[in-house]
Amino acid sequence: MLKKSGNEINISVLEEVYDYLSPGNHVISAYLLVDGLRTSKKDYLTSLNSMIKEKKTSLDESTDLDRSQKKKVASALDKVKAYLSEKFKADSTRTVIIFASTDGFWKEIRLPFILRSRIVIDPKPYIQSLRAYLKNYKSYGILLIDREKAQIYSAYLSEIREYLATFISDVPPRVNYRSQSVLREKKILSRHDEKLHHFFKTINDRTLELFREGKFDYLILAGRNAIVSGFNNYLHSYLQSKYIGKIDAGPDSSINLIKSKAMDIIDLYELKNKNKLIDDLIDEYNPNGLGVLGIDAVIKALIRDQIRILIYDKNFSHTGYVCRNCNYLSTSPIESCPYCDGKLVYYNEIVDEIIENALDQGCEIVDIEENERYKKAGSIGAVLRYMYER
């Protein structure tokens, strides 16, 4: 089964950051790559100190802020530095983001994926890269159903995000449920069975509405096996195509139990899809010119804005060079950037630079782990928008 990072992104914190507006104040958005497989604490603190020093120099030279504003921004930068240096523990976090404003707003977000280290100071939080990455994540509807009631939840980023709907039935609890096929064969619907029939139909119609409204991308059913099997016959064909599994649970099962079982189904489903995508890339897309494998081919396709889906191994690391002016990438040293003639700077890690550039181009990002076939193929590749010129 796919391994999980242990990081659960707090949706309410994300929404607070997205909605934050404070005219007249500035927000520091500090992104710091803290992945233990890529960097040590000493190294990421060195990177942090360097970024803060650079920002303070720019702050001193700025003519857009008055002395009081500069002092507040510098103080907020010092708070970010003190927290990350003295109190923060990375654990399994791969990227940490601190949003700190000059009016006291402070939010920390821990991410189970990598984003480039940077500090942005603007009147509002810098969230473009985060939004771009998170839009790749799918939402899952979990429909817990019984004869007497049903509830549907939305699961996103390992959290049960919200109740989407609740249904209450007037079917008496003593009704003995019979499968729809039996009812058709006998052509008889008792009063109780007819109520159950209408209840299930109501649930299906409303669930379909929620799907069409974009409330979830895939569906999981939860309940006693006999109930779930029976209700499955009512699912609209659109929902059938998005149905990924069922959970055996009673009407009084805790939400934590439902969540745990749902995450197991989601992990298995996503692992299966990712492995299939890798097999398709290696066996079909790459040989036919609609895919590339290996870091040099990926960079070449990225420069040409060809990439539709970037696929990389979470543990893949590579050194390289990045242009200071235009972010041109290379795995080999060259005297100057072929596009802007700028100077290329050596990076111990350029995979996160590749990911950031792909996000800027609107690419879908897929991270994988422990796929031996993909490691042998180069650990990084891409499905392209149009044919690759070899």
- Residue 30 pairs with which residues in a beta bridge? 98, 119
User: pLDDT tens digit string along 32-60?
Assistant: 999 888 889 999 999 999 999 999 998 88
In the three-class reduction of DSSP (H, G, I as helix; E, B as strand; rest coil), residue 317 is classed as coil
Take residue 83 and report the two structure tokens written for it: 């927290």
Give the C-alpha separation, 126 to 28, whole Å.
8
Give the C-alpha separation, 96 to 31, whole Å.
6
User: pLDDT tens digit string along 221-260?
Assistant: 999 998 999 898 899 999 999 999 999 987 778 888 888 8
* The total number of residues written for the chain in this structure: 390
Q: Which residue has the higher pLDDT, 294 or 39?
A: 294
Say whether pLDDT at 171 is over 80: no
Residue 207 · residue 151 · CB < 8 Å: no
| pTM confidence score | 0.74
The pLDDT-based confidence of 96 (bands split at 50, 70, 90) is: very high
The pLDDT-based confidence of 286 (bands split at 50, 70, 90) is: very high
Mention every residue, 6+ apart, whose C-beta is less than 8 A from residue 68. none
Say whether pLDDT at 363 is over 80: yes
- Residue 160 pairs with which residues in a beta bridge? 155
Say whether pLDDT at 277 is over 90: yes
* Most confident among 131-135, 142-146, 153-157 (mean pLDDT): 142-146
In the three-class reduction of DSSP (H, G, I as helix; E, B as strand; rest coil), residue 203 is classed as helix
What secondary structure, in 3-state letters, does 59-101 show? HHHCCCCCHHHHHHHHHHHHHHHHHHHHCCCCCCCCEEEEEEE
Say whether pLDDT at 5 is over 50: no
Give the C-alpha separation, 242 to 237, whole Å.
9
- Predicted pLDDT at 273: 94
Domains in the chain: ranges and CATH: 11-134 (3.30.960.10), 139-270 (3.30.420.60), 286-384 (3.30.1330.30)
